[in-house]
Amino acid sequence: MKTLGLIGGMSAESTVVYYQTLNRLVRERLGGLHSAKLILWSVDFAPVAELQAEGDWTATGQILADAARRLEAAGAEALVICANTMHINAPEVTAAAGIPLIHIADSTAAALKAKGVARPLLLATRYTMEKPFYRDRLASLGLASLTPGEADRAKLQSIIFDELCQGVVRPQSKTEALQMIARGKAAGCDGVIFGCTEIGLLLDPAELDLPAVDTAVVHCEAAVQFALD
């Protein structure tokens, strides 16, 4: 089994999901007392979130590149950024380390295609919804993603940062997210991307009337596939 290096803390709430899911998947594959071989570098999210808000992606890239080098030096054989938005710095992470980066958008696209989705609604932070790095990668893999309207994007940003990243899950926010999905379906979306690793704390794909992919889960599945193969 290969050792995975996790760049986490963005947020700590979803990094817990990664840790639990990776270990569950390895146990399901290998049985018994098996668990994943992991090294975790968990950043303090507050300074990173401030840099995000300032649009200083050069500085966030330096933070993630430093984490990548530390994980490689500690023995990691592949890197996993435990967040969608921070894949904006995937080029810096890849350049900093001589080990593979398992990209969350690649596993997301594969899972969507397996469900027959072509026009998914992307629910995520404003950065992931509005900047091209994520949607362009999906497009290169054959998916034409759509995003909610301006008011919904602002509301979703608030739900993610003010609630989910701080361990708060509100029924009203779930209702609002479901309404966003209904509007997306009416606009022609045929699937949903939980494009922030915290959204799975709020919504369950099984409860939706459109095919949905929880990016945190499929990212973990791809990482375990790498580790075990």
Q: How far apart are CA 84 and CA 103, in angstroms?
A: 9
Percent of the chain predicted with pLDDT > 70: 100
State the pLDDT at residue 182. Answer: 97
Same domain, 154 and 197: yes
State the pLDDT at residue 104. Answer: 98
Bridge partners, residue 126, by sequence: none
CATH classification at residue 209? 3.40.50.1860
Summarised one tens digit per residue, pLDDT across range 88-135 is 999 999 999 999 999 999 999 999 999 999 999 999 999 999 999 999
Residues 6+ apart with CB under 8 A from 224: 22, 25, 26, 29, 36
Same domain, 86 and 127: no
Q: How many domains does the structure of the chain reveal?
A: 2
Same domain, 125 and 206: yes
Same domain, 93 and 128: no
Give the residue among 70, 185, 66, 169 at the shortest CA–CA distance from 123: 185
Same domain, 13 and 55: yes
- Check: CB of residue 3 under 8 Å from CB of residue 190: no
User: Quick one: pLDDT band at residue 2, thresholds 50, 70, 90?
Assistant: very high
What is the mean predicted confidence (pLDDT) over 127-149?
97
Q: How far apart are CA 195 and CA 199, in angstroms?
A: 7
- Check: CB of residue 107 under 8 Å from CB of residue 25: no
State the pLDDT at residue 169. Answer: 97
CA distances from 61 to 40, 124, 130, 221 (A): 18, 20, 18, 25
- Check: CB of residue 82 under 8 Å from CB of residue 15: yes
Summarised one tens digit per residue, pLDDT across range 213-225 is 999 999 999 999 9
Bridge partners, residue 42, by sequence: 8
State the pLDDT at residue 73. Answer: 98
Instruction: Residue 151: give the domain boundaries.
Output: 104-215
Q: What's the chain's average pLDDT?
A: 98
What is the mean predicted confidence (pLDDT) over 44-66?
98
State the pLDDT at residue 228. Answer: 98
Same domain, 66 and 114: no
What is the mean predicted confidence (pLDDT) over 6-14?
97
Q: How far apart are CA 204 and CA 206, in angstroms?
A: 5
User: Quick one: pLDDT band at residue 11, thresholds 50, 70, 90?
Assistant: very high
CA distances from 116 to 111, 148, 172, 190 (A): 9, 21, 30, 9
State the pLDDT at residue 186. Answer: 97
Same domain, 74 and 162: no
Q: How far apart are CA 44 and CA 208, in angstroms?
A: 33
Q: Report whether the peptide linkage leading into residue 11 is cis, meaning its omega lies within 30 degrees of zero.
A: yes
